[in-house]
Homo-oligomer: A and B are copies of this chain.
Amino acid sequence: MNAIVSALAVEVLPPSLKDNTGDLDRLKKGLAAQLAGQMPLVPFSRLAKVADRFRAAGFKGAAIVNDLAGGCELVDFLAEVPPVLPAMALDLGTTHLEAQLIDLLSGEVLARADLENGQIRYGADILTRIHFAAKDDGLAVLHNEIIACINRLAGELAAAANLPVAQVRALSVSGNTTMVHFFLKLDPHHLCREPYIPMVNAPDPCRAGELGLAIHSAAPVFMLPSVGSYFGGDLISGILASRLDQQEHTSMLIDVGTNAEVIVGNSEWLIACAGAAGPALEGGVARMGMRAGPGAIEHIKIDPDSRAISYSTIGGGRPKGICGSGIIDLVAGLYLSQQIDIRGKLRREACGERLIEGREGVLFVVAPAAESLDGEPVALGQVDLDALMRSKAAMYAILTTLINQVGLSFEQLHRIYVAGAFGRHIDPRQAIVLGMLPDLPLATYEPVGNSSLAGARQVLLDKEARLRCCALIKKITYIELNVNQEFMIRFSGSRFIPHTDHTLFPSVPYFEGE
């Protein structure tokens, strides 16, 4: 463990005629023992401040030292070691930002906060934003928006921990490649164009002041590196958090959002790929879809015989929408109760009164208007179902393409780690029924929570994690699915429940010929 910022207690003999060493040189010398002889650099922007404060404190106190790739940096001097040394870990998501304030001294979480990504107003999805960035000031607008959001989050975290935001001494950022480009004001033009090349995979740490962040201007900003345009730092975080890269057994890590990113490997090798899974699994686009939050139906049960529906909402109140896990429960339940066919089409005769006509076609009502929060029925349309079918097909095609590339079968996997809200909320059994995840014993599946945030936290606290993620990206072989023929074939085969080849899903009932 070696946090990205340290407060090193130091006391040196005051200057005298017998020792006229300059103030900063004296301080550096005093620190050398604690830094294994390494001489910290003092950036020009901090030169006068550090020297002034060191002298004002009477040549003893605590030196604030940033630990960076190129060496360490002396950026401040305090009269004594502070009670906490706060740093911000950030999961920089396309739709959502989630952050924690971490005490670098104790490792404790001091505060948590989250926020919708303010860039959404310029484009709900990444691609729209990339196009927006190509306009006149587009990139600057997106950059400023994300900086403003992070500043707001930082302000909330600091307020919750009852300290000034300028005392936040470091920031780690775990995000997809495009978000990191926006964050650094880098042109994302080539990210979405063959051969899909980022401007940078592993940006060197910069200082918060350079980005206009409200935290301490000399705070180092550490970004989790990416492997490709579609395999970002958030996934590297996932590897750190799941320790996929440190195990003898071969395991898999799945992160599902708008894209599905998957990595398989062990301590010897790592192979990754990513593909568009469609937004259906995020609940972002389905008519009644919503993020997992109060009022979202997160679980749905349909009795296969009576077709009676029961559901539970997050927070326990009346429903106003359905989140991803609810949608997967619903569709699996609809299949097992034979209210949809193997192509995912609603069977009018089986659904009966649950079906209503909406503006965009037929809808399946989960919660009638009388039960819902806002007096509107909570329902899923055929359009949404079709989207989900594409998503689940993409997902399974990605997994099979990848496992096939490495010459393994799913059964040989020790674990399948499932990251994010998807991993936290879905029931793997239901995903198996849909043919989205392979038909394996449920114990194989292990949710790892917001591993993007977990990785961001790790790199703040642990030097080994910082070094490891930079070494990791050189170790990962990335397969581009956007141009992969095998993927396209497998995608077609996966557009049935559970699959065209139902021998792949022996545990799932197959309703032949319907």
Contact = CB atoms under 8 A, between A and B. Distances in A.
Given A202-B25, A204-B41, A20 B197 contact: yes
Interface in A195-237: 195-204, 206-207, 210-211, 226, 228-229
A218 to B, nearest CB: 13
Interface in A37-73: 39, 41-45, 47-48, 51-52, 55, 69-71
Nearest to A473: B25
A341 interface: no
A328 to B, nearest CB: 31
A111 to B, nearest CB: 27
A16 to B, nearest CB: 5
Contact of A206 (B44, B70, B187): B44
Contacts of A206: 43-44
Given A199-B23, A206-B43, A483 B17 contact: yes
A194 interface: yes
A17 B478 CA distance: 10
Contact of A200 (B22, B229, B478, B480): B22
A483 to B, nearest CB: 6
Contact of A41 (B20, B23, B70, B195): B70
Interface residues of A, number: 49
Interface in A139-169: none
A195 B15 contact: yes
Contact of A23 (B25, B47, B197): B197
Contacts of A51: 186, 199-200
A44 B200 contact: no
A198 B22 contact: yes
Max chain B CB contacts within 10 Å: which of A15, A22, A71, A195?
A22
Contacts of A194: 17
Contact of A44 (B22, B210, B226, B229): B210
Nearest to A197: B15
Interface in A279-317: none
A321 to B, nearest CB: 37
A301 B51 CA distance: 53
A204 B42 contact: yes
A45 B195 contact: no
A457 B380 CA distance: 75
A185 interface: yes
A56 to B, nearest CB: 12
Nearest to A231: B20
A48 B186 contact: yes
A503 interface: no
A23 B48 CA distance: 36
Contacts of A480: 17, 20
A371 to B, nearest CB: 49
A197 B229 CA distance: 53
A192 interface: no
Contacts of A201: 21-22, 24-25
A210 B45 CA distance: 8
A50 to B, nearest CB: 9
Contacts of A190: 55
A20 to B, nearest CB: 5
Given A20-B228, A55-B190, 8 more contacts: A20-B195, A21-B201, A24-B203, A41-B70, A43-B206, A44-B184, A47-B184, A48-B184
- What are the nearest 5 A-B pairs in CB distance? A44-B206, A22-B201, A22-B198, A24-B200, A15-B197
19 contacts: A16-B195, A17-B195, A17-B483, A20-B228, A20-B480, A21-B197, A22-B197, A22-B199, A22-B200, A24-B200, A25-B200, A25-B202, A43-B204, A44-B204, A47-B200, A47-B203, A48-B184, A51-B186, A70-B71
